[in-house]
Amino acid sequence: MQLDEDFIKIKDIGKSTNEIISFIKDEISNKFQKKGVVIGLSGGIDSAVTAAFCAKSLGSEQMLGLIMPEKESDSESQILAKKVAEKYNFETKIIDITQILESFGVYKIKEEIVKEKFPKFNTECKYRVMVPPKSKNTIGIPFLEILDEAKELHKLKINSSEFLTLTAATSIKHRVRMATLYFHAEKNYFSVVGTTNKSEYQQGYFVKYGDGGSDIEPLVNIYKSQIYQFAKFLKVPDEILTKNASPDVWSFSTSDEEFFYSVPYNVVDLILYAREKKLSPKDVQKISNLSIEDIENLFQIQNQKQMKSQHMREIPHSWIPDLLNR
């Protein structure tokens, strides 16, 4: 799937960078009147770019980066997170959240499902949930993928209840990290800066009151494709630029594209951009080599994702009484 990469190119990246830097400074120092910011560092591109913006906006002395691994985390994530902090020269704390997750029964809940499907599962095995793309001929049913101790791959069916339980248990990881961020923010009179980008936000690829819980979201109007443009401009470490974006929530590593996007992120961005600008499938075809059928299918998938995730982008609904006029 080759696309015209200029379709979403940032016209003046220097000016846009300065505007984001000013936005962060104004929100934190003037509106919130806080001393600085706390950022969750995942070792991924979004948190790296957010950290770079904050360092340029507030200075490294007004930043704290939290690295919050757990026993299923990819060890490389922690290494890359440290490189970001070294690059922009700000303080970090490593807080292992494994014991907190164990107290919630997160690993037990997930392993019970995995062992029921694969009785030979042990600590040497790795597992992940995969969501295949929905198309005209397939309905995109999630499945469990296990890499056993002999490095043999097993694909196993799971039902909707098992899928929801696995993802719900996984969401606790994000919510524990959010609570940890706010503890350190309040302790230091800081604000929490989120790292969700526009591509994730529009599709509901975040956890409400988890990685979606923050005081400001500098990236929420920036497509994933544009995040990479900013990363190059801000000289984010090359290892992060070339690393596949990953949710890092399963013991068996998986990319964002494999778990949620189903297609390359630049294709997702094209479809999101087309919907935003009210472009037709024919318009999209002019800047891609996708068929009209593929484009219409991708439009339908995005319509469904945005509809199903709408509640995640809204504040809690409330009843508005008219008690005084009764």
pLDDT at 222: 97
Half-sphere exposure of 86 (CA within 13 A, CB side): 8
How many C-beta neighbours within 10 Å does residue 285 have? Answer: 15
136 against 321, higher pLDDT: 321
Q: Residue 1 — very low, low, confident or very high, per pLDDT cuts 50/70/90?
A: very low
**pTM to 2 decimals?**
0.91
What domains are there in the chain, each with its CATH number?
A: 13-102+166-312 (3.40.50.620), 105-165 (no CATH)
Contacts with 35 (C-beta within 8 Å, 6 or more apart), sequence order: 62, 188, 189, 190
Considering the chain, what is the average pLDDT of its residues?
A: 91
Residue 135 has pLDDT above 80, yes or no: no
pLDDT in tens, 53-104: 999 999 999 999 999 999 999 999 999 999 999 999 999 999 999 999 999 9
Tokens of 198: 């526009």
pLDDT at 258: 66
Is-contact 284 290, C-beta < 8 A? yes
- Distance separating alpha carbons of residues 144 and 205, to the nearest angstrom: 19
- Distance separating alpha carbons of residues 41 and 23, to the nearest angstrom: 21
pLDDT at 261: 62
Is-contact 175 211, C-beta < 8 A? no
64: phi then psi, degrees, rounded to nearest 5: -135, 125
Half-sphere exposure of 9 (CA within 13 A, CB side): 7
| b (16+ CB within 10 A) / e for 179-188 | ebbbeebeee
Half-sphere exposure of 114 (CA within 13 A, CB side): 27
pLDDT > 70 fraction of the chain, expressed in percent and rounded: 94
Picking from 210, 185, 176, the residue whose alpha carbon sits closest to that of residue 196 is 210
- Distance separating alpha carbons of residues 54 and 60, to the nearest angstrom: 8
Is-contact 121 111, C-beta < 8 A? yes
pLDDT at 246: 79
Q: Residue 292 — very low, low, confident or very high, per pLDDT cuts 50/70/90?
A: very high
Instruction: Tell me the H-state helices in the chain.
Output: 13-25, 45-58, 75-88, 98-104, 106-117, 160-188, 198-203, 224-233, 238-242, 256, 265-276, 281-286, 292-308
- Distance separating alpha carbons of residues 149 and 213, to the nearest angstrom: 37
- Distance separating alpha carbons of residues 55 and 62, to the nearest angstrom: 8
pLDDT > 90 fraction of the chain, expressed in percent and rounded: 76
Is-contact 155 144, C-beta < 8 A? yes
- Distance separating alpha carbons of residues 84 and 79, to the nearest angstrom: 9
Tokens of 197: 């980008």
